Structure 1
């Protein structure tokens, strides 16, 4: 297995706080594959607060002989998206990708070219393109040695000469991952993921996002410190419980159950612990169908 790309560093801990929670939404996901190998994925969301319904349709087809994957997607906001990806054919660990999107109603156009090479002890990525008419370039490098890794990522907007850089360091083994990140010398994050046993996954995050800027009198607004603790408890092979809490006493709870082969249901909620009576509590339900 090659060294992960920079954006996947610390992913195990992040997923404990994001994956499986859909507060304020009714969500339906459907996935199927035809006999010819064409894969369809449909997703629908209904926002409980705004009474707004959104959806998307994605198709994916793999040309195994050439290592090519073709993806196209359309959503209810009339955003058209296409991607061509080739992996491991020109060279082992090499991925080449071209993608583009277009929204006729607004005229927004985006396009990106990317190349990534993953080996046992390093991962190097380069990219460039146009995002809503603004050209950009970027890249990342991750170097790994035994259980330690370090990485750097750069994104540069050519029009406004805006550079965002990230520096990550960490340590990982089969059960534990410690990850730290610095963003533009302003924002920072430290996370811990630990698999206590076959049933319990634990995660911890503490960080400070980049300052918002533009405060009154031209002064930068100070970002708050964010602290979170999350966990997953696997009740059995087909069910699990999720829980998380942060320093704002926002409590997230979730339950996921596999009803039968290809059908999974999940419910989740986020409770405002600082104001139980009149707080902005949110509840969500998700249903996933696969055949």
Structure 2
């Protein structure tokens, strides 16, 4: 198995304990569709228990021939012109691709995120390992991210993020580096204008055993701002990990086991050495009822239980139902119920 990033050492257990529990939102709807020319659309809407609503609409174009095409530049340009309609200025031109000198078409991804409290405009441009993403939101914050993967060295990904707030003239520049090999996964995050500060983490692995650590450093203060460590063991059917975060003051032990093709189980225990001797415990299980449905359940040491049910009603239509109950306060209105619909074509 590949070595995970430091933040993903306990991913299997964390996913089992947190994903697919639909009570977290009172209602969720998601619509996905794909067109013959590799354009994928996704519309998402959510309503929280606090009556706040949010939504997102996204369009994504993927050139499946990128890196394999042998078409001439003239042919690529002709195909792109056929796909781009003048009447669909911003959407079609951003989703179908741009013809450039060379044998390929450069794909572009475009999405708009809308919420009750604001909106975000995001554009993404990708070319042979280079990705350019631009974001503009209603706080009038401009962000530009440039990513370069596997170009400087195999397994190395470099990412630079530029941010600008015109109203206050505030600027930000961040540099993120990720280097991944068969037995090593390292990351470094630098904030070049604030501090500057650096956050670095690394994980090494051998025959399933992994060990990792992370640390933060403020150059201006010449001081370490935080550090964490973790050890674990990963196998195809099970995994276990122990993490110590927040300057080695919060300890967590997690375990995940895929019992068979139908049953998964996991647990996590957490102890904060600063707050006392109480240990928090949470256990969860997932049971696949048949090829099109599964059920999940979990409960923690405070007596809060949650259940979830997911079923494929018909090809392209998925229903998720969930509820949580405070077993120590059954007479009070502390329970939550949620539903999710996903439509895909």
CA distance in 2, matches of 1:175, 1:94: 29
Would you say 1:226 and 2:308 are equivalent positions?
no
Q: 5+ residue gaps in structure 1?
A: 212-220
Partner of 2:33: 32
Partner of 1:168: 230
Q: Higher strand fraction: Structure 1 or Structure 2?
A: 1
Q: TM-score, normalised by structure 2?
A: 0.70
CA distance in 2, matches of 1:79, 1:223: 44
Would you say 1:78 and 2:119 are equivalent positions?
yes
Q: 1:140 to 1:204 in 2, by over 3 A?
A: same
Q: 1:236 to 1:163 in 2, by over 3 A?
A: same
Partner of 1:186: 249
Q: 1:245 to 1:61 in 2, by over 3 A?
A: same
CA distance in 1, matches of 2:174, 2:212: 22
Q: C-alpha root-mean-square deviation of aligned residues, in Å?
A: 3.2
Q: What's the CA shift string for 1:229-283, capped at 9, x where partnerless?
A: 0010001111000000000010010000011222211011110011111141001
Greater Cα offset, 161-170 or 118-127: 161-170
Residue 247 of structure 1: which of 301, 304, 317 is its match? 301
* Count of aligned residue pairs for this structure pair: 280
**Is the 2:175–2:192 Cα contact (8 Å) retained in structure 1?**
no
CA distance in 2, matches of 1:33, 1:203: 35
Partner of 1:118: 180
Q: What's the CA shift string for 1:53-102, capped at 9, x where partnerless?
A: 11123444446339998565533222455455444454432333345677
Displacement of 1:119: 1.1
Alignment of 1:138-287 (within 5 A): 138-156=199-217, 163-183=225-245, 184-209=247-272, 211=274, 222=276, 224-287=278-341
**Is the 2:22–2:320 Cα contact (8 Å) retained in structure 1?**
no
Instruction: Point out the structure with max Rg over C-alpha.
Output: 2
CA distance in 2, matches of 1:94, 1:207: 34
Would you say 1:41 and 2:80 are equivalent positions?
no
Secondary structure in 2 matching 1:78:
strand
**Is the 1:2–1:118 Cα contact (8 Å) retained in structure 2?**
no
Displacement of 1:16: 1.0
Q: TM-score, normalised by structure 1?
A: 0.82
**Is the 2:34–2:40 Cα contact (8 Å) retained in structure 1?**
yes
**Is the 2:215–2:224 Cα contact (8 Å) retained in structure 1?**
no
